[in-house]
Amino acid sequence: PDGRLFVADSALGRVFILDKEGRPAGELRGDPAGLGRPVGLALAEDRLYVSDVARHRVAMYDLAGVFIAAFGRRGGGLGEFNFPTYLWYEAARRRLWVCDSGNFRVQRLTRDGVPDGAVGGPGNRPGYLARPRGVALDSDGHLYVVDGAFEAVSLFDRDGRLLLFVGSAGSAPGEFALPGGLFIDTGDRVLVADTLNARVQILRYAKGPQP
């Protein structure tokens, strides 16, 4: 917001705030338990979500960086987490999506942390997840999950039905080597961090006949 940048420093257990020029402007504060190992960040209308893989929870802060509340604990039930990592906030429906990596799924929650469903589950074929390492939604509400074990991107509808499975191990276009991050821009381009190939691949979901 206002050009500021929030940066999660997992090793230090802190989230720093930089101004639009990249200068230090503070850090998140006020959590009585403190952050253990912050990994994922997601910005909503009036708050910032931070996933904490060490404490198996998600913390909420206001845009001034002050702690509001936290939700989740270690476990396998809905609303519980096992090493939560990457986050995505869906503004259109006011939902938070959490890569619940150790439970091999992506959870959907309300903006206040109430469980609202899950996608995926353990398995070794398309439609399941093994190592989810990134999550995002496009403007049509399709859910994209990058999987570091499958070396692929899975595309689901909101009810968790698999629509498309893209990728395999390798270095050619459309192939991945330990993909570890996902972002969808305002033009619905899908940017995938292809870690061991030292590149970011750009994909686009073909919604209909293309010119």
| DSSP 8-class letter at 177 | S
Domain range for residue 168?
129-211
Within this chain, do residues 10 and 114 fall inside the same structural domain, yes or no?
yes
**Taking the mean position of all CA atoms in its chain, how far away is CA 53?**
13
The pLDDT-based confidence of 2 (bands split at 50, 70, 90) is: confident
Tell me, yes or no, if the pTM score tops 0.75: yes
CA distance 19 to 82: 33
Within this chain, do residues 157 and 114 fall inside the same structural domain, yes or no?
no
On whether residue 75 sits in a domain, the answer given is yes
pLDDT digits (tens, 9 = 90+) for 107-117: 999 999 999 99
Which pLDDT value is given to residue 211?
A: 47
The pLDDT-based confidence of 124 (bands split at 50, 70, 90) is: confident
Which pLDDT value is given to residue 205?
A: 80
Average pLDDT over residues 143-157: 95
pLDDT digits (tens, 9 = 90+) for 51-88: 999 999 999 999 999 999 999 999 999 999 999 999 99
CA distance 175 to 49: 31
Within this chain, do residues 147 and 207 fall inside the same structural domain, yes or no?
yes
